Structure 1
Amino acid sequence: MSERELSNDECWQTLQRVYEFLDHELDDASGDEIREHLAACEPCLEKFDVELAVKTLVSRCCGGDQAPAHLKAKVMMQISVARHELG
């Protein structure tokens, strides 16, 4: 983390909006808030990087931004398992 201490609530709120951020669905002010948080919070930046990698992989492998439902379910299950093991 940076010089300022970030709250779990702030991290939770940031990570809840990661997909909107990745899909450029946020207004400039909200995007700036997320960029600022990610720059100051290494754990959130690492989670963001994972989400970006998954989105990039799905886009490359599936020819678009939307994964087939079965693939999305499988990936989400693996992410859930990994989070449980790490958390």
Structure 2
Amino acid sequence: MGMGERDKLSSAGRTDCSEALLRVYEFLDGELGPGECAKIQAHLDECGPCLNEYNLDTTLKALIKRSCNAEHAPDALRTSIMTRISMTVFRIEGG
């Protein structure tokens, strides 16, 4: 099944490759609801190329976690990042 054929599956209520790959990190991090999780899992069960990408992302995430587990961001960096996030959210919400 080619990429175009797989993408057409979304019109039948299924998840297409672009959506599955776009949401793979949300899926990995458990940030999706049960219905969305089921849709992504069903797509991965049927689509070898997306499953390969998922497996690569899983391996990469595990490697990063293992490599960076002992290091913590300095407090000043955390504060700076949180401030920037807050400012960005404020700008989006405040217009």
**4+ residue stretches of structure 1 with deviation over 3 A?**
none
Q: Which of 31, 35, 41 is the aligned partner of 2:37?
A: 31
Structure with higher Rg: it is 2
Report what 1:16 is aligned to. Answer: 22
SS state of the match for residue 25, structure 1? coil
Give aligned-pair identity as a percent: 39
Offset at residue 6 of structure 1 (A): 1.7
How many residue pairs match? The answer is 61
Mapped to 2, the partners of 1:51 and 1:38 lie a distance apart of 13
| 2:56 corresponds to 1:50 | yes
> RMSD between aligned alpha carbons?
1.9
Task: Specify the code of the residue in structure 1 equivalent to 2:22.
Answer: Q
Which 5+ residue runs of structure 1 have no aligned equivalent?
Answer: 65-87
Report what 2:6 is aligned to. Answer: 6
Report what 2:47 is aligned to. Answer: 41
Which 5+ residue runs of structure 2 have no aligned equivalent?
Answer: 11-15, 71-95
Tell me the TM-score normalized by structure 1.
0.64
